[in-house]
Structure 1
Amino acid sequence: MKKSIYGAMTALVTPFKNGKIDEDGYEKLIKRQIKNGIDAVVPVGTTGESATLTHDEHRICIEIAVNACKNSDVKVLAGAGSNATHEAIGLAEFAQNCGADGILSVAPYYNKPTQEGLYQHYKAISKSVDIPILLYNVPSRTGCDILPETIIRLFNDCDNIYGVKEASGNIERCVDILAHEPKIYLLSGDDAINYPVLSNGGKGVISVTSNLLPDQTSALTHYAMQNEFLKAKEINDKLYNINKVLFCESNPIPIKAAMYIAGLIDSLEYRLPLVTPSSENLKKIESIMKTYDIKGF
């Protein structure tokens, strides 16, 4: 059986202070995740503003996550993707050498490779490291769609590629993949359909909402994985409004605003070209947050 990282996972935000990574704040956020039942943290994915971090900052975030999780059962699935294969390999090798448990590798963005190009890209990454690799398909952001047949081909041909974070928002795509290869670990990358994905055989979630509500996201995921689907759906329904408002603008704009409102990050800072939400959306976020019990540190 392939080594795998699954369950309730959080796509971590990256807090900034005066334009730099708030390293102490980042560690506190991760320890809060550990305290509230999350199985793995995912530093420097899309939610972590990886596209605007320097490579040095990217590595710092991975190091902090590994150190924060060292004396716990929580795994680190490090973001280590790029649209240049050699850069993706470099980040993957760093993550492995640093002690990450696995890597999340986003589809190459902007340059629009063919399916054969995607296959060769991921095969090269797979050969460069031994730790588990989770593919990350998010075509709305990358302009590139890893098709089910390519995902299955990679799963069958590469010993350490164990699954995919599917963030197309298309539940039929999830059904398609698992119908043709039920051994793949398919994880939901879209909070709005976490429950449908889990109830169809998904092996977990990589959530944005769990930055704010790790305890509830963890409970939803664990109930579903224990076949307690009615309990899972009840939580999923309660999370609907917050899931919706956290995507009222481009991720991670709303979730960072929510974290700031909740007192979980000290400064509401983004890297340009991302900016703070409109005043109207800030009011919506704050209003909906009042209906949830948000755990502090």
Structure 2
Amino acid sequence: MFKGSIVAIITPMTEKGKICCNSLKKLVQYHIHNHTTAIVSVGTTGESATLNQKEHHYTILSTVEFADGKIPIIAGTGANSTYEAITLTKKLENSGICGCLSVVPYYNKPTQNGLYQHFKAISENTDIPQILYNVPSRTGCDMLPDTVVKLSKFNNIIGIKEATGDLTRIHKIKNHVKKNFLIISGDDITALDFMQLGGDGVISVTANIAAQEMSKMCFLALKNDFISARIINQKLMPIHQALFLDPNPIPIKWAAWKLKMIQHNTLRLPLTPLSKNTQIILQKALKQADIIP
């Protein structure tokens, strides 16, 4: 269920900054049509940090409704407060989600034992499958492989989104966890190499605007056809790179708006519009990948 191309979906907003359900429904249908494996709703790419709890919950439930059982929905439920992460998770029980993505607590910089206790507490308070999310460039805290291995012993901790870009992490984790524990890339640039070394897929930003291409690339990689997969990946590489020239999700929201996938290019402060220079680079990348003529 959670292998291949999983999209970290953006949260479209109206001009006044409210959740835009029309655009969200359109995005969900786009991913169903283009064979995305699953959708992460209100992850960090979905601007979870600037949505209040009511909006957070509403957006996830709306995504589930629009999916109508045709694509699995993974809810972003991470927080730097253990209590808040548990509350977000428990509120979504019996909601129709298939799992939760829970980010390493940001700003607090907990010890490895603190990280273990945080995710242990979440696991013990829900039956919903949990995917850990390690992204030290954004959280300021790196969950080390030994901690991941310890957490993999919990039955409902089913995998990790590893976004360090460090390909050596795959074997350090994979060699010590149960066979069905998922190791998923969180870095589009290195995702194909990650899969070639034994990873199960990618939770992708690029898939927001190139769902078909990402889906096909991951399908080929899972079939061990890395020659064909790499042809697609090389074509997408300028997009992978351009989407992170400004902080995510600023570039991907601009690109989705430029492609008329969402009605408005609305971000919430402290996020600000895409710089003019990056607009030029990203537009060129979209042309190189044949996303726009």
Q: Letter of the aligned partner of 1:61 in structure 2?
A: T
Q: Which residue of 2 aligns with 1:286?
A: 283
Residue among 53, 56, 62 paired with 1:55: 53
Q: Letter of the aligned partner of 1:138 in structure 2?
A: V
Q: Which residue of 1 aligns with 2:17?
A: 19
Q: Letter of the aligned partner of 2:156 in structure 1?
A: N
Q: Letter of the aligned partner of 2:242 in structure 1?
A: V
Greater alpha carbon shift after TM alignment, 185-194 vs 286-295: 286-295
1:47 deviates by 0.5
> In structure 2, how many angstroms separate the alpha carbons of the residues matched to 1:50 and 1:172?
29
CA RMSD of aligned residues (A): 1.3
The one-character-per-residue Cα deviations of 1:63-122 (angstroms, maximum 9, x if unpaired) are 0111122231x1111100000111101111122231100000000010111111111111
Greater alpha carbon shift after TM alignment, 30-39 vs 63-72: 63-72
Greater alpha carbon shift after TM alignment, 248-257 vs 172-181: 172-181
Contact in 2 for aligned 1:257/1:277 (Cα 8 Å) = yes
Contact in 2 for aligned 1:10/1:211 (Cα 8 Å) = yes
**Where in structure 1 are there 5+ consecutive unaligned residues?**
none
How do residues 1-297 of structure 1 correspond to structure 2 at under 5 angstroms?
Answer: 5-17=2-14, 18-72=16-70, 74-156=71-153, 158-181=154-177, 183=179, 184-294=181-291
Contact in 1 for aligned 2:170/2:198 (Cα 8 Å) = no
> In structure 2, how many angstroms separate the alpha carbons of the residues matched to 1:88 and 1:96?
13
The one-character-per-residue Cα deviations of 1:259-288 (angstroms, maximum 9, x if unpaired) are 111111111110100001111111111122
**Where in structure 2 are there 5+ consecutive unaligned residues?**
none
> In structure 2, how many angstroms separate the alpha carbons of the residues matched to 1:234 and 1:44?
31
Identity of aligned residues (%): 44
Q: Letter of the aligned partner of 1:281 in structure 2?
A: T
| TM-score w.r.t. length of structure 1 | 0.94
Q: Letter of the aligned partner of 2:214 in structure 1?
A: T
Contact in 1 for aligned 2:152/2:178 (Cα 8 Å) = no
1:5 deviates by 2.6
The one-character-per-residue Cα deviations of 1:11-57 (angstroms, maximum 9, x if unpaired) are 00011111111112111111111110101000111100100000011
Contact in 2 for aligned 1:36/1:214 (Cα 8 Å) = yes
1:182 deviates by 6.2
* SS at structure 2 position matched to 1:267: coil
Aligned length: 290
> In structure 2, how many angstroms separate the alpha carbons of the residues matched to 1:193 and 1:179?
20
1:293 deviates by 3.7
The one-character-per-residue Cα deviations of 1:206-244 (angstroms, maximum 9, x if unpaired) are 000000000000011111111111111111111111100
* SS at structure 1 position matched to 2:161: strand
